[in-house]
Structure formats: C-alpha cells, structure tokens
Structure 1
C-alpha cells in the first residue's frame, strides 16, 4: 500500500497567529517542528496499517517547512512548487491507495480559525458550483480524479466538519477551534497520538466509499479583496466577470478547473 499525505500548517495543534506560519519570523521554528511531528505521526499510523511508502507533499507557503531528518525511511518528500496545477497534491497519481491531510484549516471567510483562508489572502471567497470551498474541497476532488480516496484529515474543528460532510466516513482529528484572534487547542502531544491512531484505523478500515463524486460540470468563482485582481484574472481565456471583484470559469473537466486556478488566483 502506498499513501499520499498533503501537509499544511494553519490547522496544526496550538497555532494561533500568522507569525507562527511565516518562515521569516522566529515563531515559525517552533511550529515547523510541530507540523513535522504531526506528519511523522501520520506516517507511523500509515506504516502500522501496512503502508510500504508514504509520499508527503510539503504544502504550506514555500513548500520547505518540514524538518527532513525527522521523517521515517519509508517516506518520500515533495518540496517546493513545480508549477503543476495539482499544487498541494502534486505527486499524487492512480498508484496510491489513499490520501491523508494534516494541519488543514477552514475556508476563507470562516470565523473558526484566525488563520482561515483559501489558497492566498488576496481571495475573500472561492466558490465551486455555488458552494464556498476550502483548499480541501479542491484537493479531495483532485485525489478523486485519480481514483484515490481521501480517508483522514487533521485540522481545526470547522475544517473537520466540512471534510466529513464532503467525504462520508472520512476520519478526522480536531486539533483546535478559533474564537476571534484566539484558538483553543488540544496539546500537541495528544494530537500526535490521535493522528497516529486515527490514520492507522482509517487505513485498516473500509474506505471504498470515501471517494467524492466528480460533478458533470464545474464552475469556479473567485471573489477577490481587491477589484484590480479580478480585472487581471479576467484576461484568462474563458474567464468572465462575476461582479466588481469576482471572476468565474467553467469546464466539464476538473483538471481544467485546477489549471485555470493556477493562473486566476495569482
């Protein structure tokens, strides 16, 4: 069994401030270690369930956060950004048995995590087929497009709830809940244990139904904070205005949606 793991940081147990996610700030040192520890816990759970290899995408910001010498010898690590439309899922293909997600956070516009966002801070909301979407929304559908089920996610309470609604049977570990600029978090050491146990149980279970259905047609709408971003994005082939600060793009092919997002959101 080969498992794919997409790792973010804003849903890591204990996190509460953007400084802790910024590699240019001293606080990041502590939280890259906590992010790494959650990834290692997920790897250990996957190994206990029979995984021969875990491919990890370092999916936060620079893509260069994880402390490499703490990773187990059965892991491979994808660092940096290739420019491929799969982005946070780059490296996944049909050869994987399952996808896991650690450190995930709720969508832009949510009040459940002071670090809530979708893709970048220029976007106020990102909608898919009329529903406000998170990064997990697109990443789980990306995995599904390769036939890979999403079976486990750790992150903030709101993200876990949305992920369970989208993928019935998906196992989650709720690391923190946000209130204004504060978070109420479980202790990191407890998160590591729960992630390890949760991943093992998920991969040993029946996750045949954990494959979200791809729609027949997709419309993505990007609502920007700054109208000049929408003006620029509107020049992408096939994009159309969707209001004073928004653009929309439609396709029957989800891969085309991901390709468009790569250029529309910058």
Structure 2
C-alpha cells in the first residue's frame, strides 16, 4: 500500500498566531514540533495498517518545517517547492492508494480559524463553481483527478465539517475550534492518539473509499484584497476582470485551474 501525506501547520493542534507559523518568530519551534509529531502519528498509523511506501509533503510556507530525522525511516520527505501546479501534493500520481491530510485549515474569508487563508493572505476568497473553497478542496480535487481517495483529515472544526460535506466517508480529527482571534484546542496527546488510530482505521477500510467525481466545468473566481493585484492578474490567458478586485476563469480541465492558480495566486 502506497500512502501520500500532505502536512500544513495552521490546523495543527492549538496554533493561534501567525508568529507560531513563521520561521524565526516566537512560538514557531513549539508548533513545528507539534506539526512533526502529528505527521509522525499519521505515519505510524499508516505503517500499522500495512503501508509499504509513505511520501510526506511539507506543505507549509517554505516547505522546510518538518524535522526530517524524526520521521519513521521508510518515509520519503518532499521539502521546498518545485513550482509544479500540484503544489501541496507535488509528485502525487495514480500509483498512490490514499491521500492523508494533516494540519489543514479553514479557507480565506472564514472566521473559523485565526489563520484562515487559501494559499496566500493576499486573497480574500477563492470560489469554484460558486462555492468558497479551501486548500482541502484544491488537493482533494487533484487527488480525484489522479483517481485517489482522500481518506483522512486532521484540522480545525469547521474544515472537518466541510470535508464531511464534501465526502462523508472521510475520517476526521478536530484539532481545535477557532473563535475570533482565539482557539479552543484539545490536549495535543489526544490529537496524536486520534490521528494514529484514525489513519490506521481508514487505511484498513481502504476498499470503502472512492475518489469523488470531478465537475465537467470549472468557474474559478478569485477576490484579491488589492484591486491593483486583480488588474495585473487579469492578463493571465483566459482570465477576466469582472469587478474591481475579482478575476474569473472558465475551463474544463482541472489541471488548467491549478496552472492558473500557480500564476494568479501563488506568484
């Protein structure tokens, strides 16, 4: 069994401030440690279920957060960013059996996590076919594009609810609930136990999971915080400036959505 784990930090247990997600700032080392521990728990659950190959993508900010020598020896770790449109699931392909998400968070425009955003803090919202989307949706659609099911998610309470709405079979672990600029978190050790057990249980039931079908058409809409940024990004091929701070793009190929995001959001 071949498993892919993508890990972010803003949905790690108890994280509450941008300093705690930023290399060199107060609190970062504490939550880097917790991010690493939650990924280790996911790896341990995968191995207990019979995984023979595990790829982990460090998918937060610099891509250089996880402590490599703490991960179980069979793990292949992807650090940094290649620039490929698959982004947070770089190198994911049809050879994998399952996708697991650790430390994921609510999207830009949400009040459910003090660190809510989608890819960057420079956009106020990203919508797909009229629905506000998160990084969870982006990687889940990419997995579906490759024929791979998302089987497990650990992150904030509202994102876990969104994941269940997307696919009720996904096993979730709530790490904390955001209220304004605060979070209410369970004890970190409980998160680790729940991740370990949840991942193992999901993978043992792998035959019950199916990738969700993709829409036949995609309308991508991006709201920027600065109208000047929207104007500049509207020159990406196929994009249209439809409001002072909004561009949209209509395509029929999921990879074209990802390619556009690489240039109109990530750069």
Shorter-chain TM-score range: over 0.9
Query: 5+ residue gaps in structure 2?
Result: none
Matched position secondary structure for 2:175: strand
The alignment's C-alpha RMSD in Å is 0.9
Q: Which residue of 1 aligns with 2:194?
A: 194
Q: Using the TM superposition, give the Cα deviation of residue 210 of structure 1 relative to its aligned residue in structure 2, in angstroms.
A: 3.6
Match in the other structure for 1:75: 75
After TM superposition, give the deviation of residue 167 of structure 1 in Å.
1.6
Structure 1 unaligned runs (5+)? none
Tell me the CA shift for residue 209 of structure 1: 3.9
Asked if structure 2 preserves the Cα contact closer than 8 Å seen for 1:11 and 1:104, the reply is yes
Give the superposition deviation at 1:228: 0.8
Once the two structures are superposed, the pairs formed by residues 44-193 of structure 1 within 5 Å of their partners are 44-193=44-193
| Cα pair 2:57 2:90 within 8 Å, conserved | yes
Alignment of structure 1 residues 241-260 onto 2, 5 Å: 241-260=241-260
Shift, 1:203, TM fit? 0.5
| Runs of 4 or more above 6 Å deviation | none
Scaled by the length of structure 1, what TM-score is found? 0.98
Query: 1:18, 1:207 → 2: CA distance?
Result: 39
Distance 2:11 2:207 in 1: 24
The SS at the match of 1:259 is: helix
SS of structure 1 residue aligned to 2:100: strand
2:13 aligns with: 13
CA contact (8 A) 1:59 1:88 kept: yes
Moved more, 208-217 or 127-136: 208-217
Alpha-carbon shift at residue 63 of structure 1 (Å): 0.3
- Three-state SS of the structure 1 residue aligned to 2:228 is helix
Match of 2:229 in 1: 229
Q: Shift in Å at residue 207 of structure 1?
A: 4.8
Whole-Å separation in 2 of the counterparts to 1:146 and 1:236 = 26
Q: Does 1:3 align with 2:3?
A: yes
> How far, CA to CA, are the matches of 2:84 and 2:242 in structure 1?
26
Alpha-carbon deviation of 1:201?
Answer: 0.4
Distance 1:242 1:203 in 2: 44
Q: Distance in 1 between matches of 2:166 and 2:195?
A: 20
Instruction: Indicate if the aligned counterparts of 1:168 and 1:209 stay in contact, CA closer than 8 A.
Output: no
CA deviation profile, 1:228-259 (whole Å, cap 9, x unmatched): 11011101011011211010111110001100
Residue by residue over 1:201-238, the C-alpha shift from the partner in whole angstroms, topping out at 9 and shown as x without a partner, is 00111454441110101111000010011011101011
3-state SS in 2 of match to 1:242? strand
Distance of aligned partners of 1:254 and 1:9 in 2 relative to their CA distance in 1, 3 Å threshold: same
Deviation per residue, 1:115-153 (Å, 9 max, x gap): 111110001000001100001101000011111100000
Alpha-carbon distance between aligned partners in 2 of 1:24 and 1:57, rounded to the nearest angstrom = 21
Deviations 1:131-186 (A, max 9, x none): 00001101000011111100000000000000111122000000000111110001
**How many residues of Structure 1 are paired with residues of Structure 2 in the alignment?**
266
